[in-house]
A and B are shown apart, each in its own frame.
Chain A
Amino acid sequence: MSITQILFWFLSVVALFSALMVISSKNPIYSVLWLIVTFFSISGHYILLNAQFLAIVNIIVYAGAIMVLFLFVIMLMNLNKETEPPKNRWLKMAGAVAGGCLLLVLVAALKDTDIKQQHALVNEGNIGLIKNLGKELFTTYVVPFEISSILFLSAMVGAVVIGKKE
């Protein structure tokens, strides 16, 4: 086993375990903290693939900004067991069915792809470095990139409009 493999297995175990803890923790604060651990282990995977930019941006955007806001809201709401509304039995059933459907679709989709034949470039590919990634984004994928930026802009305008209401 090379060091890369050891790291891969370690990170995978951490990622899966923390992801399980996200949905099984009783305290929502713990869920958010476990989610942050998940993001970190996924960033570790990115680094193993030599996709440094993705790894760092994942931490900055998700762990550093979005999760902070999540934590913010949850801390202010002060969710305790007592305040948790009793869940409807039908709601639980519907949730289980929806989740099952999603799982089915994902499994079916992944089964048919030829991902099994593809090799992941570990430690060497430099498509994840910022120079190559930037070139790709601003040449081949420039239209989707700009469209997503417009999406963000509209979201921002919407937030400002909602905030201005009062």
Chain B
Amino acid sequence: MLTQRAKQVDRKPMTFLESIYLWNILKGMGITISHLFKKKVTINYPEQTRSFSKVWRGLHVLNRDEAGRENCTACGLCAVACPAEAITMEAAERLPGEEHLYREEKYAAKYEINMLRCIFCGLCEEACPKDAIYLSQSIAPANYGRKGFIYKKEDLLIPHPKEEPEAYQKALGEKATIN
């Protein structure tokens, strides 16, 4: 009754016209033929793709700054925030001469996310004080083995903004516009 669409079932015996079903059949055929001229809602998937929502939480990306240095300082807040315990990392100290690689003195030598555990809640993104991790507008592709779902740092890092600017912009996606 909430939708106001409930209808009382009619149990009257059929009249002769109804019992040869013809009128109702013609009505039904009118309905189906009208669908012939309606716009198809299907998207030709491999050629066309539906755009993701702006707040879509997809595959993780480890961010770099404009100079191409990694933002992550391996503070571990994301791993703590993660309700599925999908993130593991190992920290290392930045050596002299590596200033162009890492923004701060400490960086993540190893950074892994298990995509089979991850629930894509986005709490890691919220927890990160350095804007180093965010959830992009893509999905984790299928894989044949469990190993393939453990994403290493190389898989997660965003392309270098100077060396591969196009790939960097693409990976950034619409995230760049909402922040």
Direct contact of A and B (CB under 8 A): no
A-side residues, CB < 8 A to B, are none
B-side residues, CB < 8 A to A, are none
